[in-house]
Amino acid sequence: MDSILVTGGGPLSGTIPIAGAKNACLTLMPATLLSDEPLTLTNAPRLSDIRTMSTLLESLGAEVSALSDGLVLAMSSHALNGNRADYEIVRKMRASILVLGPLLARLGEAVVSLPGGCAIGARPVDLHLKAFEAMGATLELRDGYVHAKAPEGGLRGGEVEFPFVSVGATENALMAATLAHGTTILRNAAQEPEIIDLAKCLTAMGAKIEGAGTDTITIHGVPKLHGATHRVVTDRIELGTYMLAPLVAGGEVTCLGGSRDLLEAFCAKIEEAGAEVTETPEGLTVKRANGPMKAVNVETEPFPGFPTDLQAQMMALLCTAQGESTLEETIFENRFMHAPELTRMGAQIDVQGGQAKVTGVARLKGAPVMATDLRASVSLILAGLAAEGTTRVSRVYHLDRGYEHVVTKLRGVGAQIERVREDG
């Protein structure tokens, strides 16, 4: 098992290329199941979660080829030979549930294991299932699997009102509705850039979709979707993560391919804390505006609010900001598991339920720490950039699920970081 060693030190300087969005690509890949013609995705991120989704699609009979060093995914579902997504694959990743809608829409029947992934609290699939029921499907949970069946003749258009915003349920329902008979309306729909990106891809495949990016999406079902080529949107979470690096360590970094519209609330919050963010033709350039960073209060919200997937990284920044900050996590429970690890580095953090109070310290100290989930792992690396001495981050297999070449990218802007093999 590998670990990452980070030695805090001087400021960062240079450029970091931002990859295609993991969360977008994992949603776009199951869209191939909706058509018997090829779907090609460009600007794909090279991550273990992408390989897991490829394995899942191949288990259903789809063909998936990684081209151009993995930056292009060529897929075809012309010869599907299964409608069962087994636990052994699905348990590795929450996004696996996104094959349910496409399989149900195209084949009329699907059996999908309840998913796994990061241990950051309950993320029930109830909203997905209720959306399919609104389209006429019958569903049964049995032995850890969702058994779903469309009505005779296929799914029917329906009205779905989500009781709270769910990105995954919006994506699953959106894909299923493209082949449903009639019109489907999704109310209180998620508005994330990944939803817009999925709608663009589905539209390129022949779907009829209105309102993506708003809280009401209307889908007029079509009999058949065709092939398409689509470029995966920039990963806004990777973008935000690397924007924080020069704020933690000092210096100035340009994140290539970044744009402010992907992260407006996040940009506003780090500017409040003392960052200077400049949009250029190349991307976003970030540095401290004037002296040390200052404490701010953060509340995670669905898009366009502050992303929950940047909460852990923001906490790493606030550990050395002047004053007391409050972070309130409103999306997922148990998402402060990085806090005890940061305290091992000298951070002052008090967690009470869904709220964490962070009192900034002058300097963190390097220590052995353990990653508990994907975003926590990179938050510990960021904290290491601000620490005196060396920080050893173990269990970094979480990191490989969401960040490609993190050591290379940070080393390219001057960070002292390396990946090493742990004994045993």
Can you say how many angstroms the Cα of residue 91 is from the centroid of all Cα atoms in its chain?
17
Residue written as token pair 């450029």: 15
- Whether 319 is catalytic is no
CA-wise closest residue to 22 among 173, 167, 149, 202: 167
Concatenated DSSP letters for 47-109? Answer: -HHHHHHHHHHHHTT-EEEEETTTTEEEEE-TT----EE-HHHHTT-GGGGGGHHHHHHHHSE
Binding site for UDP-N-acetyl-alpha-D-glucosamine, residues? 94, 123-127, 309, 331
In whole angstroms, what is the distance from residue 37 CA to residue 59 CA?
18
In whole angstroms, what is the distance from residue 75 CA to residue 62 CA?
7
Q: What is the largest CA-CA distance in the chain?
A: 66
Using N-to-C axis directions, what is the helix angle for 167-177 and 193-204, rounded to 10°? 10
Helices (H) and strands (E) in the chain, counts: 13, 26
| Whether 75 contacts 39, CB under 8 Å | yes
- Which residues, at least 6 apart from 178, have a Cβ–Cβ distance to it below 8 Å? 34, 105, 202, 205, 207, 208, 209, 219, 221, 222, 225
Binding site for phosphoenolpyruvate, residues? 22-23
| Whether 278 contacts 289, CB under 8 Å | no
| Whether 307 contacts 321, CB under 8 Å | no
Binding site, residues? 22-23, 94, 123-127, 309, 331
| Residue 83 φ/ψ, nearest 5 degrees | -130, 20
Instruction: Say how many Å lie between the first and final Cα of the chain, rounded.
Output: 7
The helix or strand, by DSSP H or E, that contains position 309, with its residue range, turns out to be: none
Which of 118, 201, 255, 319 is catalytic? The answer is 118
What is the DSSP secondary structure assignment for residue 322, as one 8-state letter?
Answer: B
In whole angstroms, what is the distance from residue 245 CA to residue 413 CA?
10
Question: Ramachandran region of residue 217, left (φ > 0), alpha (ψ -120 to 50) or beta?
Answer: beta
- Give catalytic residue positions: 118
